[in-house]
Structure formats: C-alpha cells, structure tokens
Structure 1
Amino acid sequence: MSNKHEGTMNNTVGSRVLEPKLRFTEFLEAAAWSFCSLGELAKRSTRKNTDGELTRVLTNSAEHGVVDQRDFFDKDIATQGNLEGYYIVEMGAYVYNPRISTTAPVGPVSKNRVGTGVMSPLYTIFNFHNSENDFYAHYFKSTHWHQYMRQSSSTGARHDRMNITNDAFMGLPLPVSTPEEQQKIADCLASLDDLMAAQLQKIDALKSHKKGLLQQLFPAESEPLPKLRFPEFQNLDGWSFQSLGKLAKRSTRKNTDGGLTRVLTNSAEHGVVDQRDFFDKDIATQGNLEGYYVVEMGAYVYNPRISTTAPVGPVSKNRVGTGVMSPLYTIFKFDNSQNDFYAHYFKSTHWHQYMRQSSSTGARHDRMSITNDAFMGLPLPVSAPEEQQKIADCLASLDDLITAQRQKIDTLKAHKKGLLQKIFPRLTEVLE
C-alpha cells in the first residue's frame, strides 16, 4: 500500500484528482476513482410482509449491525400481530437505520448477514445490483458519507433521528473504482475484522474459564470445601461462613454539604464507573446530590437492579475514586483492607440463592426487594488469609489476560478506523 502519488489521472473534480490517501501498489497507475449515486448502484426494497408469514424481526444496531431482535433485546419488541406492514429484508440486503447515536452520528448502514427477516418501515432497505458488494459494507463504517447526510437532512421533531427523504438518501454519492481494487480493499478490511473476531474468541474462552473457576474455587453455602483447592492448602481446615455484617460495615454517610459532585454508577457489565463516562451525560443534576451516599475508594456497592448478567443485582468494588451514589444502592466496607477475594466472589453465583430467598416481591420487577438487614446477613465464605489471597491472585491474573486481549482489539479497531478514512476517497471533494 502506498501514499497518494502524483501520477496523471483522468477523473477529477475541478483540479483535484479523486483518489484515496492510501492505495495498493498494483493500482497506483489505474484510473482515478469516480462517484455514483446509491440509486445508480442499488435499488430500494419495499416489499411488505403482507401475509404475515415471516415472524423473524431484525434490528440494525449501531454497534452490532443487523441482528435478530430477540437476541439483541432479549425479548420480542414487535408483537406478532403487527408485522404485515414490515419490510422483508433478504440475506445480503443493506439496511439504513435513521436513529442517531454516539457511534453512528447519522445513523448506521449495515449489511444483513444473519438471514431473511422483517424490519420496521422506518428503516430504508436496499440491494446492490452487483452481488460483490462487501466493499460498501466497509465504506459505510467510515465517516466520508456523513457530511452528505447532514446536508441532505432537515430538522424534524425528533432529535434522535435523521430526517432525510428516501430520494435524498438514494442520491448519496458512493465511490467507484475497478472491481479488482474494490475487492482488494474489502479483503484487507475483512482480514482486520477476522483478527478482531479471533481476539474476541480468545476473550470468550478466558471468560468461560474464569466462570468455571469462580464456581469451583469457592464453596457453596452448604459445602465445607470448594471443588478445587490449591495443593498447598489441601491439609488446612475446612472453610467457614460468616455474615457480611460481621466482616464489613454499611456506609451511610451523606453528601450533606454537596461538596462532592462526581456521581458513580455500579454497572452489571463494567462495575463501578463515573456516571459521565458510562451514560455520556449527567443523569443526576448537581442540585440533588446532598442526599447521595459518599462512596470512598475501595468501598463495595450493591445495586439492586437486576439484569441478564446480574440476576440478583451486581456487587462491585469501587476502583475509580471517591464519589457519590444514589441512596438506592447499598454501600459497605470490609474491616480487612485485603478484600479483593470478595470482589471476585461476588462475580460467582454462589450467593444468589440467599438473595432470592431473602427478597420479597415488590412493585418493581426490575429490582430486588431486600432489606438492608437481610442483605448484611448474607453468608460469605472464610478461609485462611493466605488461601484467600492465592485465589484472588489467580483470578486477577485471568482478568489481566482478558484486559490485555481487549487492548489488542482496541489497537486493531484504531488501526482499522485510520484505514477506513484513508483507503476511500473523500466525498467532500464532490460536495464542495
């Protein structure tokens, strides 16, 4: 691959040659690129599911692309009775979702790779005339086409959607080169996707390994010993159980003077995080923080909100720094500062049965209804400090491996993002 060369090109806009900043060596002397409208390269698909025969509802997610709605939302958002007006989306079709987000500022365009289904008529469906079109699946991950979308949309009543007509959307200029060059680019970018997929598989394997260890390195409440034990501790006495209230104290100090303004959140997936980082905005306004609990570094937080990944609510250790949290959360601090052992224990499921037995059915089905006294009565496993530290170190090493794999993926993503901007010619040269 080479940087932009100074050779003679026969396709220009004004005096500017239409070519990308990076080009594969074998195409340096090829003709310059051109732009054609989407309507010239593809055709809209508006076939309705009139007989209601298809019941598989698809969604175009900014992060995951086209997915089955049941997999993405973990429930059916569209009921089976209202699918007659939905568009049929065949395998290989492209879908534009006008909903904007941080990761898709003008809405995502994705290729359907999961199979035939139906989609809301709010989406725009189109099929390229040429079946070899993966090149454009990658192009739509760049930002080169965003300026046209902004210029062609009008301000509507909803600020979370692009308001663009179908005609304007189908007028979107797309880059065109020789089929060979387009395929070379698609293969290059696909190879990066394959590398990232391989890294994700490694992460999944590490997570599965850790999940198994979490269940075997800690004893169940009715068992005196865990299923797995390090050799050097085989001859030690059995484990015991003590209530959380004997090992830790609740923290109920309020932010009465409003001096702390950093609002923390305990996420099932990410643990304790700064609310601004997690939600990309301030959910709690600065004027109502006096009643919030102060959460110091190293404190633990129980969030009663349940989810698929945290069926009785997550417990996480605060590793991000002092802040404040809603009084809906339960904050506690272990008497022993060497307590990472319990940060890992709360990622197991051994304590879930107690939580279910100790909770009552409340008005809200998305939260555990458990009293503070009942929560602080939660039995926790206790062994020799050396054994607990060995277990914590073992599981922390797996966390480090998972983090290292994630960093590799982040590096690959950054590399791909840079390539996406350089390997396609800029549409702004046409728009200016």
Structure 2
Amino acid sequence: MNKSTEKGLVPELRFPEFKNDAEWEKKVLNNKDIATFVKDREPLEQLKLNSYVSTENLLADYAGVAKASKLPPSGSFTSYKPNDVLISNIRPYLKKVWCADKIGAASNDVIVIRPNAKVSAAYMLHILKNDEFINFVMKGAKGVKMPRGDIASIKAYPVALPRLPEQQKIADCLSSLDKLVSANNQKLDALKAHKKGLMQQLFPAEGETVPELRFPEFENQTSWKKRSFSKLFEIGGGKDHKHLPSGNIPVYGSGGYMRSVNEFLYDGESACIGRKGTINKPMFLNGKFWTVDTLFYTHSFNGCTARFIYLLFQNIDWLSLNEAGGVPSLSKVIINKIEVMIPEIKEQHRITDCIDSLEELITAQSQKIGALKTHKRGLMQQLFPILIGEANAT
C-alpha cells in the first residue's frame, strides 16, 4: 500500500468526492475507536449447526461460511452477532474471513472482531482480506505444522481510517471486484465439472467395451480393446539431479517443478505419475525434461499416444494402489499390471483434441481470475495508505 505523503496520511488513489476530506487517522486494530476483540461466551447447548463457526466450515479464499457438519462434544465458545468479523486463527486458514449476518458462536480457533461506531464492518472485512495483514500477523506465529497467528500482532495491526462514507465507498468498490472474482470462479468450477462429466462419457464404464458418448465417425468402428499398461508403454525412473549444473531443462518430482539443469533424461511427450509422495496427480510433460526418483515418466508408446495415456491416468484411483503404510508409493510392477480399454489411434486423437479444447478454456478462465486478483491487489495498494512499520500508532 502506498506511502504517506507530505500532505498527510492519504491514499494515492481517492474517489473524487473525498479528495478534499481530512487526512485518514492511523490506529491499531485493538484501539477502542476501531474494534473490540469479543470474549463473550455462549453455552454449547444453545448452538445450532447453521450458527456454529469453526476453522472447518469457514470457507477458504474469503468465500464466507458453510453449515457445520457437526457440533463439538463440549465447551464454551465466543458468541458473535451481525456485522462482527470472524477470522480463522490457524495458518493456512487466515484467508478464511467472514462478516457475520446472524447470531451464533465460534470455536476457540476463530477470532471474533467487533467493529466500533467509527468503522464499517464491510471496510473492516477488506482490511483483513489482504496478504499484508497475513504477513504481519504470521511474523509472530506459534507452532510448526499448523501455526497460529499471534494475537498480540493481530491487535497491533496498523489500520488507516477515513470517514464512514469513504470507508463504505472503498468497501463497495472492492466488494464488486470480489463478486466478479466469485462469478468467474463459479464459471471455472462449471468448466471443470463439464470436463469431468465428459470424461466419464468418452471412456467406457466398468465392464463396457465402448463409451456412452462416441464421436459420429467412430460409431460403427470396432469396440475398444483391453490392454495392460505393460503393452502400451515403458516406464522410466527418475535420477538424482544435485550434481547437475543449472541450465534451462526443467526438473520435476512428484510435487511438480523443482529447478532447471543443463541435461535431460527424456525429450518428447510423456504422461507422468508419482512413484512416492504425491501419487494421485498425473502430469503431462513435453520437450526436454529431467525427473527425480519420486516421479515416473512414460516413453516408447505402442498403439497409443502420450496424451491419451495422460487422460487414462486421470481416470485411475491411484491412492487405492498405494503400497506403503507411510508415505504413499507406487511401483512399476503395479502400474504395468493395470488394464485399460483403448481405441484406435484416430479415435484417441479425436478424444484428446476434445478434452484439450476444454483444458484451454479452463486455463484461460484461470488466467482471467488471476488477472482479476492481481488487479484487486494493485487497487488496494492505491486505495489504502501504507501503515506497516507504524504499528505503534495510537
């Protein structure tokens, strides 16, 4: 967020009707003029599923709150009321923030902040819905696996405060962007659901030899053939990369990209699956690449394409084939024994072209959402003055 200027504490970008308004006030979140950290308690017996809020049913990415699936067995919880702002206090769940629209109670992992008379609840919500707040709070986080935000840091978070009308104008502007992001997320979800449904129709169901949905030019063609993966491709194992100098050849493990080196293990298209660790997220690689020993790659395809094998990989429940009791693991033996139904090459190409077109739409939609989020971050940097470093404001 932009720095204060010689004119005083004002943002870089200000709505025209407020350009001649007074400077913004600088406070900390726990200041009596800003908010109260609620400590009221409510007996568990009075709770209902639709009014109980915990880290589990607060939705990620500031998407609100869902109905709780169950109530905890005992204990007292912080009560909340409409216009209170609730925030999960466990990383990575600090992006679970909600402005209450009803009365209820929250678990001990949820902080309830009640804006005072000079602060709009919607404005408060946007103060907490940004990475700057998360980074500030997590500097004092306690814990390793599920660190908790430091309450003292949360209370000391610096806040810039204009008059209520300007607060509401800013909140309305940012909320409209949030709604646009939400609408585009729904479109992305719909595209992913469409792809999933189409995949189910384009591949034969269990015990069938043809798919439910077949392109017209193949309706009178022969049935798909059952073949084991051992007959369709060979499996390559990854190798250590630490001795290799840096370069422009990407190195992948089961978790994804790791670094770039100056040599490659394989050059071409390949469907890859994790050998250890993340074994249920196939990836498709094309061109020169190197893999480490946690990732298998495929090559020497026989009667199939790498892209079609990648689609087949997405239809397999890999976790059910896990061979280890600790870190999930797969072996070449297990993979080679898997049998699948497969059509002729021309039909494979037709199916992959269809799915690829959907993937392009999904990628474009994801990029659009990313651009909207980037736009919002840039806008927030202009709509709020910088206050980090001024946490001792009173």
Superposition TM-score tier, normalisation by shorter sequence: 0.7 to 0.9
Contact 1:255 1:294 in 2 (8 A): no
Q: 1:110 aligns with which of 65, 74, 97?
A: 97
Instruction: Note closer, same or farther for the CA distance 1:294–1:87 as it changes in structure 2 (3 Å cut).
Output: farther
Give the structure 1 partner of residue 325 of structure 2.
Answer: 363
Distance 2:54 2:173 in 1: 28
Query: Post-superposition shift, 1:187?
Result: 1.0
Aligned partner of 2:299 in structure 1 is 333
> Residue 417 of structure 1: which of 377, 383, 387 is its match?
377
Partner of 1:287: none
Shift of 1:333: 2.4
Q: Following superposition of structure 1 onto structure 2, how do residues 15-30 of structure 1 map, counting pairs within 5 Å?
A: 16-30=7-21
Q: Which amino acid aligns with 1:345?
A: L
Matches of 1:252 and 1:93, distance apart in 2: 54
User: Is the Cα contact below 8 Å between 1:92 and 1:111 reproduced in 2?
Assistant: no
Matched, 1:126 2:113: yes
Q: 1:47 maps to what in 2?
A: 40
- Flag the 1:226–1:275 CA change in 2: closer, same or farther, 3 A: same
Q: Structure 1 residues 141, 319: closer, same or farther in 2, change over 3 A?
A: farther
Identity of aligned residues (%): 26
Q: Within 5 Å, which residues of 2 pair with 1:69-108? A: 80-81=72-73, 83-90=74-81, 92-96=83-87, 99=90
- Shift, 1:142, TM fit: 4.2
1:360-392 per-residue CA deviation (whole Å, 9 max, x = no partner) reads 88635x747x66334212122222211110110
Structure-2 residue corresponding to 1:382 = 342
Deviation per CA, 1:151-191, whole angstroms, max 9, x where unpaired? xx8697879555453xx744544222222221111111111
- How far apart are the structure 1 equivalents of 2:238 and 2:136? 53
Shift, 1:236, TM fit:
1.6
Residues 211 and 43 of structure 1: CA distance in aligned 2, closer, same or farther (over 3 Å): same
Equivalences for residues 51-200 of structure 1 within 5 A: 51=44, 53-54=46-47, 56-59=52-55, 63-64=61-62, 67=65, 80-81=72-73, 83-90=74-81, 92-96=83-87, 99=90, 110-113=97-100, 116-120=104-108, 123-130=110-117, 132-142=120-130, 160-165=147-152, 169-170=154-155, 172-200=157-185
Note if 1:248 corresponds to 2:233: yes
1:292-325 alpha-carbon deviations (Å, 9 max, x no partner): x967663333337799xxxx83433234852333
Which secondary structure state, in structure 1, belongs to the residue aligned with residue 41 of structure 2? coil
2:272 aligns to what SS in structure 1? strand
Provide the rounded CA distance (Å) in 2 between the counterparts of 1:14 and 1:361: 62
- Select 2:22's aligned residue among 24, 27, 31: 31
* 1:274 maps onto 2:257 in alignment: yes
Question: What is the TM-score when the length of structure 1 is the normalising length?
Answer: 0.71
Q: Is the 8 A contact 1:142 1:421 kept in 2?
A: no
Letter in 2 for 1:179: L
The answer on whether the counterparts of 1:139 and 1:424 sit within 8 Å (CA) in structure 2 is no
* Inter-partner Cα distance in structure 2 for 1:124 and 1:92: 14
Q: 1:361 to 1:14 in 2, by over 3 A?
A: closer
Offset of residue 343 of structure 1: 1.3
Contact 1:89 1:119 in 2 (8 A): no
Q: For each residue in 1:189-228, what CA deviation from the matched residue of structure 2 results, as whole angstroms up to 9, or x when unmatched?
A: 1111111111111111111111111011111242121111
Measured in 1, the distance between the counterparts of 2:241 and 2:132 equals: 50
The Cα RMSD (Å) is: 4.2
User: Which residue identity is paired with 1:22?
Assistant: L
C-alpha distance in structure 2 between counterparts of 1:401 and 1:58, whole Å: 35
Alpha-carbon separation, structure 2, partners of 1:428 and 1:15: 17
Q: Match for 1:31: what amino acid?
A: A
* Post-superposition CA distance 1:104-158 (Å, at most 9, x none): 9xx668334586342225x5422113484201211223466689769xx869787
Could you tell me which amino acid in structure 2 is paired with residue 136 of structure 1? M
Q: Please, what TM-score do these two structures have when normalized by structure 2?
A: 0.77
Question: Paired residues, what number?
Answer: 373
Distance apart, 1:265 and its partner CA: 3.3
Query: Structure 2: which 5+ residue stretches go unaligned?
Result: none
1:243 touches 1:379 (CA, 8 Å); kept in 2?
A: yes
The match for 2:223 is 238
Question: Which sits farther off after the overlay, 416-425 or 333-342?
Answer: 333-342
